[in-house]
Amino acid sequence: MLKIIRPDKVIPAVQGWISNSIGQQYILAPSFELGKCFKDSNQMTPLLIILSSGSDPVTDFLKFAEEQQKSTSVCSLGQGQGPKAEKMIKEQQARGGWVLLQNCHLCVSWLPELERIVEELNDNIHRDFRLWLTSMPSGDFPISILQNGVKMTIEPPKGLRNNLLRTYGNLNDKVFI
Asked, for residue 6, whether it belongs to a domain, the answer is: no
pTM, two decimals, is: 0.73
Give the C-alpha separation, 97 to 172, whole Å. 23
Asked, for residue 171, whether it belongs to a domain, the answer is: no
Asked, for residue 173, whether it belongs to a domain, the answer is: no
When divided into structural domains, the chain yields a total of: 1
Asked, for residue 1, whether it belongs to a domain, the answer is: no
Asked, for residue 139, whether it belongs to a domain, the answer is: yes
Q: What CATH number is attached to the domain comprising 79?
A: 3.40.50.300
CA dihedral defined by 71, 167, 137, 78, rounded to 10 degrees?
A: -50
pLDDT in tens, the chain (177 residues): 666 777 788 888 888 888 899 988 887 766 667 888 888 888 899 999 988 777 778 888 888 899 999 999 999 998 888 899 999 999 999 899 999 999 998 888 999 999 999 998 888 889 999 999 999 888 888 999 999 899 988 766 666 666 676 666 666 666 444
The range of the structural domain enclosing residue 74 comes to 34-156
